[in-house]
């Protein structure tokens, strides 16, 4: 099962607060899977458990059949899982190029890194024009793109995106949501967490709805978009 992520009955607690109550979810090779849910549903907690920032209290996380639950973040990264964090976390005083090089810390071969940078610049030409600009002076959308390239530079098998549209102008939201399916076509498997449910479900092969620490609904992206409950609760329809 190449590139397959399997999460079974995952639980997590912040002290006495149970934030994940037995979550099961799968991402198959080369899928885009969207995870949607209201504020506080537990989406970020789930992503942090996958990438090793938080430790689950129970349950299993497997990638390509191997257990990764509870491993530290640097080991999870070595399995080929990259996470682009919600708040982007670019280094504001470093240039675009320096930020990208920071993401390539796992890579030793300099020539290979240069050709990888060129490959991702073709997808993100806006960044290529700005390689010497400091990241703090980029627009929000450009910073999101930089965070994505930094995650992609190690050619991850699974890319996890946490709210890539957050705080962006509509034009950048459109641009990011055009780019994500291109990344899929280039062979990347993607788990996408989004408040913007309509755009996420429109590009997702499958989706999951999360409510207060549980997965309450799962289906194809298209069917979830047409689901009455999803339309009322997450798409703002009456
Ligand atoms: P959002 O869309 O607002 O980011 P979310 O679905 O990602 O929400 P989480 O951030 O995972 O939700 O939060 C899940 C629950 O855990 C919430 O009730 C939240 O208040 C709680 N929580 C999150 N972080 C902590 C923390 N460090 N300590 C205590 N409780 C926390």
Q: Which residue has the higher pLDDT, 187 or 104?
A: 187
Q: Which residue has the higher pLDDT, 238 or 61?
A: 61
Yes or no: say if 44 and 63 are a contact pair by the CB < 8 Å rule.
no
Ligand 1 within 6 A of 40 CB?
yes
Same-domain pairing of 1 and 69: yes
Same-domain pairing of 3 and 26: yes
**Start-to-end CA span in the chain (Å):** 41
Region of 208 (left: φ > 0; alpha: ψ -120 to 50; beta: rest) is beta
Overall number of domains in the chain: 2
**Which residue owns the Cα nearest ligand 1 atom 19?**
40
Give mean pLDDT, residues 69-83. 93
Ligand 1 nearest-atom number relative to CA 48: 11
Sign of the alpha-carbon torsion through 84, 154, 63, 176: positive
Query: Is residue 17 predicted with pLDDT exceeding 80?
Result: yes
In the reported structure, the alpha carbon of residue 185 is separated from the centroid of ligand 1 by a whole-number distance in angstroms of 32
**Which residue owns the Cα nearest ligand 1 atom 20?**
40
Ligand 1 within 6 A of 37 CB?
yes
Domain hosting 212: range is 1-80+158-172+189-238
Chain length of the chain = 238
Output the pLDDT for position 106: 57
Output the pLDDT for position 234: 83
In the reported structure, the alpha carbon of residue 45 is separated from the centroid of ligand 1 by a whole-number distance in angstroms of 6
Same-domain pairing of 71 and 136: no
Same-domain pairing of 167 and 56: yes
Between CA 83 and CA 160 the distance in angstroms is 5
Query: Is residue 107 predicted with pLDDT exceeding 60?
Result: no
Give mean pLDDT, residues 215-231. 95
Same-domain pairing of 225 and 123: no
Same-domain pairing of 151 and 168: no
Tell me, yes or no, whether 139 lies in a domain.
yes
Same-domain pairing of 42 and 105: no
| Local confidence band at 238 (pLDDT 50, 70, 90 cut-offs) | low
Ligand 1 within 6 A of 45 CB?
yes
ipTM value of the model? 0.94
Yes or no: say if 35 and 207 are a contact pair by the CB < 8 Å rule.
yes
Q: Which residue has the higher pLDDT, 152 or 236?
A: 152
């Amino acid at each position: 099962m190449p590139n397959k992520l399997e999460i079974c009955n995952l639980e997590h607690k912040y002290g006495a607060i149970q934030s994940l109550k037995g979550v099961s979810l799968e991402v198959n090779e080369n899928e885009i899977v969207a995870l949607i849910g209201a504020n506080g549903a537990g989406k970020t907690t789930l992503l942090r458990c996958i990438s090793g920032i938080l430790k689950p209290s129970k349950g299993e996380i497997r990638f390509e059949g191997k257990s990764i639950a509870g491993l530290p973040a640097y080991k999870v990264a070595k399995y080929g899982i990259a996470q682009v964090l919600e708040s982007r976390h670019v280094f504001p005083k470093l240039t675009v190029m320096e930020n990208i090089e920071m993401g390539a810390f796992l890579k030793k071969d300099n020539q290979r890194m240069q050709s990888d940078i060129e490959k991702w610049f073709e997808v993100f030409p806006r960044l290529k024009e700005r390689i010497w600009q400091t990241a703090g002076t980029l627009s929000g959308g450009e910073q999101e793109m930089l965070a994505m390239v930094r995650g992609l530079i190690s050619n991850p098998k699974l890319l996890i995106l946490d709210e890539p549209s957050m705080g962006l102008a509509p034009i950048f939201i459109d641009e990011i949501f055009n780019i994500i399916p291109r990344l899929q076509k280039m062979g990347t498997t993607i788990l996408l967490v989004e408040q913007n449910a309509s755009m996420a479900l429109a590009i997702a092969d499958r989706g999951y709805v999360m409510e207060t620490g549980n997965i309450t609904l799962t289906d194809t992206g298209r069917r979830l978009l047409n689901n009455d409950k999803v339309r009322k609760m997450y798409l703002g329809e009456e």
